[in-house]
Chain A
Amino acid sequence: MALVLEAQVTVGGTVLEGGTGEPLPGASVILRNAEGKIRKYTSTDANGAFALQSQSIQGYTLNVSLLGFAKQTFSLDSVSLPLTIVLVPATTALKEVAVKADRIREQGDTISYNVGGFAQAQDRSIGDVLKRMPGLDVSNDGRIKYQGEDINKFYIEGSDLLGGKYGIATNGISHDDVGAVEVMENHQPLQVLSGISFSDKAAINLKLKGKAKAAWTFHGEAGAGYAWQPEGAIWNGEVFAMAVMPGFQNITTLKSNNTGDNLSGLATDFFASRRETGLSRYVELALPGVPSLKAKRTLFNRSALASTNSLWKVKNGELKTQIDYTFNRAVAQAANITTYFLDGGNRVVTENRDGRDRSHSLSGKFIYEVNQKTTFINNTLRTNIDWDDMRLNVSGTLPNGQSASLPDYYVANDFKLIKRFKGKHLVTFRSDNEWESLPQTLSVSLGGSKLGQHIGDHAFYTHESAAYTFSVKGVTVGLEGGVKGYVRSMKSELSGMADFPDIQGFSTVVSTNYFTVYATPKLEYWVKRVNIILNAPLSFAHYTFSKALANRSELYFSPLLSVNWKPNNRFSLTLRGSSGRSPMNLNLIQPGYIMTDYRSFRRGVDDFYTSTSQSVSANIAYKHTRRGLFANGMVLQSWSHLPYTMAQQLFGDYIVYSYADAASDGKRLMAMTNIGKTLYFMRGSASVKGSFSRNESHLISQADAVNSVGTGWSLGASVNGTPLQWLGFDYSFDFSNSRLAIDSSKNSWLCGIENTLLINIMPHPKWEWRIKGEHYRNELTAGAYKNAFLLDTKLVYKLSKRIELSATIDNILNQRSYNYTTYSELSSFESQRRLRGRELLLSISLRK
């Protein structure tokens, strides 16, 4: 009986193409049992025929499939053998996973990151993807660092359209339009200096995909919705247009939102050097502080940005214009309630602060540049106007109102010409001119009285120089000489101080001018793997001060040495050391009292001081591109010696900050490390970073010397990836711990922990569902913690390649406040801050 049952059955047949009736060779034929397990399989021969032997076919099914044809499945219980199977052409839907070569490639000094290899489904801009590339670090404000050092150029297809305002590109350009991100190590942007002057900085170049080149690309997003706190409508809109053509480039973008994203940072020039006009605000009005949560949770804003940037290639050079306007209006509220436990009952002091800050900024930059092997010419004209109006009201036990108007006007022109002769000789001419005006008005109403502080502050700076450099066999010797001139006048007027008839100095006029002649010898040794640079600037400065101080002359010498060693392509070590004297901040020279807020005054110095400082630092970088491993570390120690010390004195309800004639020493130690690694197995990456800092300083308070030491360290880790076809995630963890010790009394360590997890579920190519949680744990006083948990979600529907619809709910749990109370033996302190409440936003995004 068993023998009968074991008789072999032959399942055979022919596979033909629908329509033509032609036999189909190479089709897969699979015989499965009732449980769906594969029992036998074969493929069709040149005649489309197949045959399988099986001991049983009871409950069995037969699958026939061929690439490019619809799959067929038969139950063998209901068919007669041999079979004739007709396959109809159909798309075999492949679940595609981009085929890529190595995710990071290295060719000489250039490392190329494959953007598709790092992008996760939730990413939009190229900036989102840059953050995931090991070795690159993008800080919250958008600044890019490679192996711990700021980049020195940001190119799009080899052209420098945006200069230091590359945040416009990293936040705007869709990562879909970028094929690769190239990092050029030791990038010397000036062709005339190539081979003569070493650069330890890296540059970034975006290589666009073909479709984004030689045509305008557009994308935009419009979203509207409702917020539970502050109750009302919310919006978030963006239009981005880009042209990258051989002779012309343009990026134009418009953005606006009131969803907690301050856009004024996007137009920040990360390459801007310090303004030599050196003006700074005396008025120090600030909105109430916000808890240490992400800005998006605490910023109540209306923000707008308009930016247009063009580059034309003309004959030998490039003409560039960059025009930006940003607007941000922020409001903030804070309530502090202090309860003093007294024998006769509690005394409660409340303070409610309510502020509004409105800032506009308009800037224009016009550049002409020739960057060739023998000639470099650059002329840059910069204009900048800022308006900043602030209003701050305090109600409660000590009610007052403050408002400030703080506009700033700035114009500068920089010209630079470098010529290279016979390959080895360089001549450089420079002329920089800057003008700035910083008028400041502060009005305070306190009790019944009104106070008004007006400051007029103008400065003009000019710098002309010439330099000659020659290079032979890796040694470059140069000498730069020049003159600098500076004229500044400041006028301060404080009205309404009738209560203090004895005190003089509520109105001040001061001018601080100088004329400097300097010479800077420069020696550079650059052979194979070692580069040594020695700069030894020597300058003579003559200062004149109208009335306030006696004129004086000073000699400054501030040598700087840097050594770079790169034994191979993987490892690099840089040591730097500097020492020198420098003049004091001229803004401090001012004999009167200037009101900086409703209860603080600043009194300047009545003598001219010079300070000295030293610093040494070491940077180490290691990379192994094939393994996707990047690591860097930095240690910096600096010392400063000031012959004056800041002092703080109380006069009734007022605090006066002044400077006392006493030596003050400061010492600073900083260490940082960052390690990044690709995680190929889940198409992701991970990074770990840590930092340590220790600041030691001296301050004279109420005629006592105070020695304070601030110590802090932090640890952070992040990991992201797509471990499953339908699942992606992004996780980050940050821990920070800090302590302030004053003299021998040490405060306790206070720590903060932040955990962020985003999970992206992609059940279908057209749908994505994201859920994001943020958890904060902040230590308020020793052992007392404040926890906050915020939850967001987003649903995305991809209607087509060009249209995407999404619905976002931020702060689902509708956490509206961040309140906490701390206790000491004799009092309690309660702080109340508002958070952005639940928000629903419906968006549509389009792209061309």
Chain B
Amino acid sequence: MKKALALALLLMVSASCLARNEYPRAAVKVSYSYPHKSLKTDAKAYDSEYQLVLLASPSYSKFYSPRTEFNDSLDSTPAGRAQSRQIMSAAVSKYMETGDESVIPMNHGTLYVFKSAADSIVTVYDSAGMMNFGTYTEPLAEMNWEVCDSSKTVLGYDCIMACTDYHGRHWTAWFTPEVPLQDGPWKLCGLPGLILEAEESSGQHAFIATGIESSDMEIRPIYTKKKYDKMSRRDLLQAQRNYLVGGASEVMTFIRNAPDGSSIEVEGTKPADAPDLHVDFLETDYH
């Protein structure tokens, strides 16, 4: 009871804090594994999988990669950039020595999704091609979910199946009324319970919950907000696609900051002879 009061109080306090420019706090932290297909800059497909986290309260949530956020947080201050350069420098020399790319602390994607139930909007931040970043807001998705009779257990929660078509893909989701949050991974939401698992029909993208715990972590906004340009969702996706598919070799070379501050030229990859064009993003309706 005390705990509940504390939680309720917390939610109210956090809501009022928002007004005073402090950050709202989460009630639940959920980690999702994100196995998906992605394209390299030569438009060849590869499999990738990493963990993404949903920090959620009934009124506000953030879906992001803690790894990417850590890197972005370093990039947001001069001291952090210095530290980041050091980490990178050590990793690059290790990479030079071993030839193993995995030693470089690469971002786990660049996606951030903030959902505000109070304003009924979703704000997305993502990369929009090389060295470009974009952001847009949309009304909180009115997904037309069809709730089915199938059920299964995810992380010990009884989940019910629901399906919807959304922005070019057909999604099957499993939500649990046991956790009364109308939220889920990525933009998926609007079901009467937390979505713990979701996959789209082509098998290119899926989110599978791997952990859930109570949390009162701050849901802090994105670091380096300035680098994101406002653009439409379709423009952002198209820009990203053009970058990956090569767009008639627009990107043949690019300049990159070396760890010691100098610039090195790296030859860009040419589009592959047989690009895997069927591999696409979470949304495909931008074409």
Contact = CB atoms under 8 A, between A and B. Distances in A.
Contacts of B157: 95
Contacts of B105: 107
Interface in A126-165: none
Interface string B166-196: 0000000000011111100000000111000
B8 A68 contact: yes
Contacts of A90: 1, 4
A71 interface: yes
Interface size class of B (residues with CB under 8 A): 35 or more
Contact of B212 (A71, A99, A102, A106): A99
Interface string A678-701: 001000000000000000000000
A725 B156 contact: yes
Interface string B21-37: 00000011111010000
B94 interface: yes
Contact of B31 (A30, A100, A726): A100
B97 A92 contact: no
A569 B155 CA distance: 33
B214 interface: yes
A547 interface: no
A259 interface: no
Contact of B192 (A29, A89, A566, A726): A29
Interface in B3-25: 3-5, 7-8, 11
Nearest to B67: A101
B182 A28 contact: yes
Contact of A25 (B59, B67, B147, B191): B59
A29 B180 CA distance: 9
B4 A43 contact: no
Nearest to A17: B8
Interface in B105-154: 105, 117-118, 147, 149, 153
A183 interface: no
A99 B58 contact: no
Contacts of B98: 529, 566-569
A38 interface: yes
B8 A69 contact: yes
B66 interface: yes
A17 B33 CA distance: 36
B212 A43 contact: no
A68 B7 contact: yes
A567 B95 CA distance: 11
B115 to A, nearest CB: 11
B57 A28 contact: no
Interface stretch (A59-67, A190-198, A713-721): A59-67
A63 B192 CA distance: 10
A27 interface: yes
A25 B33 CA distance: 30
B198 to A, nearest CB: 16
A529 B155 contact: no
B4 A91 contact: yes
Contacts of A25: 58-59, 117-118
A826 interface: no
B182 A26 contact: yes
A89 B58 contact: no
Interface in A557-597: 566-570
A46 interface: yes
Contacts of A783: none
Nearest to B32: A99
A71 B213 CA distance: 19
Given A41-B192, A680-B210, A568 B100 contact: yes
Interface class of chain B by DSSP: mixed
B58 A725 contact: no
Interface residues of A, number: 49
A703 interface: no
Contact of A529 (B97, B117, B211): B97
Interface in A182-231: none
A696 B205 CA distance: 57
Nearest to B7: A68
B103 interface: yes
A41 B145 CA distance: 10
B264 interface: no
B182 A43 contact: yes
Interface string A76-117: 000000000000011110111111111000111000000000
A115 to B, nearest CB: 14
A96 B155 CA distance: 9
B99 interface: yes
B1 A102 contact: no
A28 B31 CA distance: 22
B39 interface: no
Contacts of A108: 90-91, 94, 103
B180 A67 contact: yes
B213 A98 contact: yes
B165 to A, nearest CB: 19
B102 interface: yes
Contact of B211 (A29, A30, A100): A100
B242 interface: no
A680 B31 CA distance: 13
Contacts of A626: 49, 102
B117 A89 contact: no
B51 A91 contact: no
Contacts of A41: 147, 191-192
A96 B100 contact: no
B245 interface: no
A626 B100 CA distance: 13
Contacts of A528: 97
A106 B95 CA distance: 13
A398 to B, nearest CB: 65
B177 A101 contact: no
A296 interface: no
A85 B227 CA distance: 46
B7 A89 contact: yes
Contact of A726 (B7, B118, B156): B156
B50 interface: yes
Contacts of A26: 58-59, 117, 182
Given A63-B177, A99-B30, A106-B103, A37 B149 contact: yes
A531 to B, nearest CB: 12
A63 B176 CA distance: 13
Given A28-B177, A91-B4, A67 B91 contact: no
A625 interface: yes
A94 B180 contact: no
A76 B149 CA distance: 22
Contacts of A813: none
A663 interface: no
A29 B100 CA distance: 52
Contacts of B91: 108
A6 to B, nearest CB: 20
A780 interface: no
A88 to B, nearest CB: 8
A644 B96 CA distance: 54
Contacts of A71: 180
17 contacts: A25-B58, A25-B117, A25-B118, A26-B59, A28-B177, A28-B192, A41-B191, A41-B192, A68-B27, A89-B8, A90-B1, A94-B212, A95-B212, A97-B155, A97-B210, A99-B53, A106-B102
5 tightest CB-CB pairs across the interface, nearest first? A725-B156, A99-B211, A569-B100, A65-B180, A26-B58
Interface of B: 1, 3-5, 7-8, 11, 27-31, 33, 49-51, 53, 57-59, 66-67, 90-91, 94, 97-100, 102-103, 105, 117-118, 147, 149, 153, 155-157, 160, 177-182, 191-193, 210-215
Given A97-B211, A106-B103, 19 more contacts: A27-B180, A38-B160, A43-B192, A46-B118, A65-B177, A65-B180, A67-B27, A67-B57, A90-B1, A92-B4, A94-B214, A95-B157, A96-B213, A100-B211, A101-B31, A101-B67, A569-B98, A626-B49, A725-B153
